[in-house]
Amino acid sequence: MPYTANKPSRARSSDELRAAIPGWGADLDPKDRPSVPKEQFDPGLNGARWDFPERQPEKWPRERSIEHKFLTPVFGTSAPPRGVSGVIRKYSYKKYSEGRAAHWLLLLAADRVDAWEQHLASFGSLRPDNPITETGVLSEFSRHGVTSRFGKKRADLNHQWIDPILVGGPWLIAGGLGFAAVRRLARLRRT
Amino acid sequence: MRAMVYRGPYKIRVEEKDIPPIEHPNDAIVRVTTAAICGSDLHLFHGMMPDTRVGMTFGHEFVGVVEQVGSSVQNLKPGDRVMVPFNVYCGTCYFCARGLYSNCHNVNANATAVGGIYGYSHTCGGYDGGQAEYVRVPFADIGPSIIPEWMDEEDAVLLTDALATGYFGAQLGDIVEGDTVVVFGAGPVGLFAAKSAWLMGAGRVIVIDHLEYRLEKARTFAHAETYNFAEYDDIVVEMKKATDYLGADVVIDAVGAEADGNFLQHVTTAKLKLQGGSPIALNWAIDAVRKGGTVSVVGAYGPMFSAVKFGDALNKGLTLRMNQAPVKRQWPRLFEHIRNGYLKPSDIVTHRIPLEHIAEGYHIFSAKLDNCIKPLIIPGAN
């Protein structure tokens, strides 16, 4: 009990634990662990042959945090900004630091815009987006979707029903709007 | 090449992409032989991480064979079998020079608050990841290591993040002999954190989750006592009872941004993206640890704010420790532990999925179907 000085313990003795658990106490000394101390200054630690790395060529104006003094010498080149989402992203990087909620909220908004820009663009391509195959939901049938969930006291069942609405809802709305637009056009043609 | 490509929240597919070119003299191009899906990849998959762009290839856990090297690379050559830490890092900035590889300042143009991570959004640098046939590996002389002859490929891929992170999480707890250690989350990182706590001399290790099959793994693989929080009205009170009302000496949060256990917190985070991460496990950790104890956080959270019970942490005099794991710093000791038979990381692998079926792999892992604990991705397999 914490109401008196001695530590209550239900632990087995160290000898019992050493006998029962492979490797018990192999890293017993807190000072002899790989990340202790947290900072271990050694500029030669990594065997690098540079003080500052050579710069990677910048093939397009690379967006960067305004908390950086300059563009980092190496950076990722996946998915350059494009379209309306790209405009939002570039604005967010140019205007707001990482300390501002607006920075992250704009980036999240740009992510949603990006997804719909690319979904719409895919319909003009040879490979339109297919939410059935791309969500992997068919594995519900081959990987025990029902028996994995029910009778298991899982805490996540209270919100999993939201996922199909979040994922499928916008597609159903978009499909409905598209259908209504086509029907309206057809009516206009007839009159 | 074939590569996993993000198409928006909850949607991915495999596409034909160009093999990545050398973009810097110290780059290498690695042909991926085994990759993994990490629990933190699910945050990207669910659209929670800001600046996750359609077209990006995920994957920060991978091993493979060097295909091509840049002009300044000296430590690797084509044909070398390599394991690549999930951290992209330069080796010489202020932080790398102090061993904080996960906090490198020279590789992430998009943010200063996080280092570079393969395939983990532009917030983490905009690098394509390894759930593909080929991947660009910057600073090839710094991060990757040649896989020892004796090491199993599946053990090697788990060393690139999950095992290193779990082991690092236990170190952040500053465990001393006889400590009671509670681990929230029985996923791969939680299982490895629990196993590592014993190596550091824990007297008791308690693992908490709501998935019974994972708790079973915690009992058999990590020798832990287990609690299913869904069976109790209040898991914090149960932890107090389990420790004679003292609280645990150390609590490790190995859950992160999509924690379950409180409908409102989960929905405002994982579904509505109004918080950087669901703080349920973190708040339970703060409440379940004893006064003066240590909370170690290795579960992944986004850069936005979260509703963390900071007052309790203050008033209890807690030490809060956290970081992304500096992976390579852990490797020499973990290699020893694997050779000595203390750790067998691949024991937690449950699924081996061809790259072409990766969308189903994400769904299985995300929806926790088929007793999934750790899915590996195999490029080129049918």
Omega cis (within 30) before A34: no
| Model pLDDT, residue B20 | 98
Q: What is the pTM of this model?
A: 0.96
pLDDT band, residue B350 (cuts 50/70/90): very high
pLDDT score at A167: 86
Cα-Cα end-to-end distance for chain B: 15
Share of chain A above pLDDT 90, in %: 80
Q: Do B271 and A159 touch (CB under 8 A)?
A: yes
B116 touches chain A (CB under 8 A): yes
Q: Tens of pLDDT along B208-262?
A: 999 999 999 999 999 999 999 999 999 999 999 999 999 999 999 999 999 999 9
8 Å CB contact of A2 and B244: yes
- The B residues from 322 to 381 touching A (CB cutoff 8 Å) are 326, 329-330, 332-333, 337, 340-343, 359-364, 367-372
Enter the tokens of residue B158. Answer: 């788990």
Residue, of A188 and B292, whose pLDDT is higher? B292
Q: How far is CA B208 from CA A36, A39, B12, in A?
A: 27, 31, 31
Average pLDDT on B101-129 reads 98
The answer to whether residue B1 neighbours chain A at the CB level (below 8 Å) is no
Q: Looking at the complex, report in whole angstroms how far the Cα of residue A187 sits from the nearest Cα belonging to chain B.
A: 35
Read off the pLDDT of residues B136-152 as tens digits, 9 standing for 90 and up.
Answer: 999 999 999 999 999 99
Per-residue pLDDT band at B7 (split at 50, 70, 90): very high
SS3 B252: strand
Spatial separation of the C-alpha atoms in residues B193 and B345, rounded to whole Å = 12
Q: What is the pLDDT of residue A45?
A: 80
Q: A–B: how many Cβ contacts below 8 A? A: 328
pLDDT at position A153 is 85
- Return the amino acid letter for B118: Y
Quote the minimal CA–CA distance from B149 to chain A in Å.
Answer: 23
How far A188 CA lies from chain B's nearest CA (Å)? 35
Question: What confidence score (pLDDT) does residue B335 get?
Answer: 98
Note whether B281 and B299 are within 8 A (CB): yes
pLDDT bracket for residue A190 (50, 70, 90): confident
Contacts of A140 in chain B (CB under 8 A): 363, 367, 369
Residues from chain A that touch B180, judged by Cβ atoms under 8 A, are: 9, 11
pLDDT at B364 over 90: yes
Chain A contact set for B341 (CB, 8 A): 22-23
pLDDT digits (tens, 9 = 90+) for A145-162: 999 998 888 999 999 999
pLDDT at B286 over 90: yes
Taking the CA of residue B224 and the nearest CA in chain A, the distance in Å comes to 10
CA atoms within 13 A on the CB side of A81: 21
Across the interface, do B107 and A30 touch by the CB < 8 Å criterion?
Answer: no
Asked if residue B140 lies in contact with residue B80, where contact means CB atoms within 8 angstroms, the answer is no
Task: Catalogue all structural domains in chain B, each as residue range(s) with its CATH number.
Answer: 2-161+326-378 (3.90.180.10), 167-322 (3.40.50.720)
pLDDT of residue A44: 80
